[in-house]
Amino acid sequence: KAGVTQTPRYLIKTRGQQVTLSCSPISGHRSVSWYQQTPGQGLQFLFEYFSETQRNKGNFPGRFSGRQFSNSRSEMNVSTLELGDSALYLCASSSGTVMNSPLHFGNGTRLTVT
């Protein structure tokens, strides 16, 4: 079974631009969550989608948004990029909740904002 796939692996953008990151979960998984990882703030939860509905949301500004499609694939969008948005963005999928189904993470997308 294929794992969680994130594309692209690396991305370089300029301040003020917008960016879209993609995540394909493990087949059959309906939950997709996103995390931001930076050296200063560590790993922080962005949001989670389950069956195309946002189930949880972290404390990030409205510039960060996401969506999930009927095939469970998810996209994350960041508008008006700032230098501080440079980070590793990790996507994870599970079949239900993390209590009864472990999270499976992708290899992440490394975003650099210049």
Partner 1 sequence: AQTVTQSQPEMSVQEAETVTLSCTYDTSESDYYLFWYKQPPSRQMILVIRQEAYKQQNATENRFSVNFQKAAKSFSLKISDSQLGDAAMYFCAYVRGETSGSRLTFGEGTQLTVNP
Of the two residues 83 and 99, which places its CB atom closer to partner 1 in the complex? 99
Number of Cβ atoms within 10 Å of the Cβ of 24: 21
Q: How far is the CB of 16 from partner 1 (least distance, A)?
A: 27
Beta bridge partners of 11: 111
Specify the residue, 78 or 93, whose C-beta has the smaller distance to partner 1: 93
Question: Nearest approach, Cβ of 67 to partner 1 (angstroms)?
Answer: 16
Q: In the chain, where do the E strands start and end?
A: 5-7, 10-13, 19-24, 31-38, 42-50, 53-57, 64-68, 74-78, 87-94, 104-105, 109-113
Residues that bind partner 1 (CB under 8 A): 31, 33, 35, 42-45, 48, 50, 55-56, 58, 88, 90, 92, 94, 97-99, 102-103, 105-108
